[in-house]
């Protein structure tokens, strides 16, 4: 009942029995971690380096310069889902684009189907052998698409949410397939992702369903997330029941879980902030403050978000020019 209360269609589907068939990880995966893309560069760079002695320190730069990056479609948009593709549509939502780009950089393919999942609007289903995934998303009518209704924005929000599950699953950032606690971990990250998209849509004055505003309110800052009765504590409760961590988790049980996984909370909040647009008009932000959110939290959350965006931009620049973080 709690699970239904949250109304998050999307979170239920990864738990559907068919989805979580425990399978031994195929050996081949371990070797596939070194992608073909990486092995060729190494070879050519070795030759290159051999010809010029003492250039080893700039080897990374040389490698990248020598090997053109192969562009491949890691998100495969089947007919009826093309409108979700940020590369062929004008979808001016930084967090949405960034999330889908992350998925496009994976070695595995995620197929996007126009198909109503068993529960809710959209669902990510991992493939048994962990080499691919599918996002099923309820078809949208032509009218809703043209009018950019809250059904349209709901699809974008759901797509961002499910894409995060796909990234977590296929990159193994969060190994949640066989671990109930890790399933909650990926949900916190998926809700962070959808909330950043919801925030941007609201800031642009687009119609967004109320539930997404309420869920977003938990990501303003840590107190908003962990406080008793917050939307995310309620969602977490419903998952605990659904994933059979506890059949009737008390507020104390949830608080304790969040304390034990304090780093997951921080990580989810940081993810949300990273995906927010670089510039948010403070007045607009105040006006779109969701109900039940303390003004201080809201303002503070925005300031943290702004700082995070700045730090991330600097880090990106550093990475681009100095090859840091490789
Ligand atoms: Zn989910």
Burial class (CB in 10 A: 0-12, 13-18, 19+), 128: middle
Q: What is the pLDDT of residue 188?
A: 98
198 vs 176: CA distance, rounded Å: 25
pLDDT tens by residue, 171-207: 999 999 889 999 999 999 999 999 999 999 999 999 9
| Domain total in the chain | 2
> What DSSP character marks residue 289?
P
Full domain range(s) for residue 136 = 2-35+71-322
* Per-position pLDDT tens, the chain of length 326: 333 444 344 444 444 433 333 333 333 322 222 333 333 333 333 333 333 333 344 444 444 445 445 555 689 999 999 999 999 999 999 999 999 999 999 999 999 999 999 989 999 998 877 689 999 999 999 999 999 999 999 999 999 999 999 999 999 999 998 899 999 999 999 999 999 999 999 999 999 999 999 999 999 999 999 999 999 999 999 999 999 999 999 999 999 999 999 999 999 999 999 999 887 655 555 555 555 555 555 555 555 555 555 555 545 544 444 443 33
Together in a domain, 176 and 227: yes
Mean pLDDT of the chain: 77
The alpha carbon of 177 and the centre of ligand 1 are apart by a number of angstroms equal to 13
Tokens of 122: 């959209």
The alpha carbon of 190 and the centre of ligand 1 are apart by a number of angstroms equal to 6
Question: What region does 150 belong to: left with phi over 0, alpha with psi -120 to 50, or beta?
Answer: alpha
Together in a domain, 275 and 291: yes
The alpha carbon of 106 and the centre of ligand 1 are apart by a number of angstroms equal to 19
Q: What is the pLDDT of residue 70?
A: 53
Domain edge (last residue) among 70, 92, 124: 70
Q: What is the largest CA-CA distance in the chain?
A: 68
Q: Residue 250: which of 226, 271, 234 has the closest Cα?
A: 234
Together in a domain, 258 and 215: yes
The alpha carbon of 47 and the centre of ligand 1 are apart by a number of angstroms equal to 46
The alpha carbon of 12 and the centre of ligand 1 are apart by a number of angstroms equal to 7
Domain edge (last residue) among 10, 45, 70: 70
Together in a domain, 15 and 138: yes
Together in a domain, 59 and 130: no
Write a three-state SS string for 21-36. CCCCCCHHHHHHCCCH
Together in a domain, 64 and 152: no
Instruction: State in Å, rounded, how far the first CA of the chain is from the last one.
Output: 46
Together in a domain, 303 and 236: yes
Predicted model pTM: 0.68
Together in a domain, 278 and 193: yes
305 vs 274: CA distance, rounded Å: 7
Together in a domain, 149 and 216: yes
Together in a domain, 191 and 163: yes
The secondary structure of 167-218 as a DSSP string is HHHHHTSS--TT-HHHHHHHHHHHHHHHHHHHHHHHHTT----HHHHHHHHT
Q: What is the pLDDT of residue 296?
A: 55
Look-up: residue for tokens 């105040």? 286
Look-up: residue for tokens 């296929």? 170
Together in a domain, 31 and 52: no
The alpha carbon of 135 and the centre of ligand 1 are apart by a number of angstroms equal to 11
Together in a domain, 159 and 282: yes
The alpha carbon of 218 and the centre of ligand 1 are apart by a number of angstroms equal to 16
Domain edge (last residue) among 20, 45, 70: 70
């Amino acid at each position: 009942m709690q699970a239904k209360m949250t109304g998050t269609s999307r979170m239920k589907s990864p738990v559907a029995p068919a989805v979580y068939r425990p399978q031994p990880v195929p050996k081949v995966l371990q070797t596939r971690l070194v992608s073909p893309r990486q092995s060729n560069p190494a070879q050519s760079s070795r030759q290159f380096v051999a010809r010029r002695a003492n250039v080893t320190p700039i080897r990374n730069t040389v490698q990248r310069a020598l090997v053109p990056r192969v562009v491949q479609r890691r998100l495969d948009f089947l007919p009826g889902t093309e409108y979700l593709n940020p590369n062929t549509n004008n979808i001016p939502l930084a967090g949405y684009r960034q999330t889908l780009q992350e998925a496009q950089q994976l070695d595995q393919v995620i197929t996007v189907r126009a198909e109503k999942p068993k529960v809710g609007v959209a669902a990510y289903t991992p493939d048994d052998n962990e080499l691919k995934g599918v996002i099923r998303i309820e078809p949208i009518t032509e009218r809703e698409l043209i009018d950019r209704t809250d059904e349209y924005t709901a699809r974008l929000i759901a797509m961002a949410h499910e894409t995060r599950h796909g990234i977590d699953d296929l990159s193994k950032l969060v190994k949640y397939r066989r671990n109930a606690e890790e399933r909650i971990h990926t949900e916190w990250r998926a809700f962070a992702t959808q909330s950043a998209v919801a925030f941007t849509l609201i800031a642009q004055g687009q119609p967004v369903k109320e539930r997404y505003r309420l869920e977003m309110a938990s990501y303003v800052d840590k107190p908003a997330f962990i406080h008793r009765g917050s939307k995310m504590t309620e969602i977490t409760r419903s998952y605990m029941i659904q994933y059979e961590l506890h059949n009737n988790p008390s507020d104390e049980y949830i608080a304790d879980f969040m304390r034990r996984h304090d780093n997951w909370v921080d990580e989810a909040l940081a993810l949300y902030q990273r995906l927010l647009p670089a510039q948010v008009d403070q007045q607009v932000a105040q006006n779109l403050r969701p109900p039940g959110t303390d003004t201080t939290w809201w303002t503070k959350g925005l300031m943290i978000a702004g700082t995070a965006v700045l730090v991330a931009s600097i880090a990106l620049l550093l990475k681009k020019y100095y090859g840091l973080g490789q």
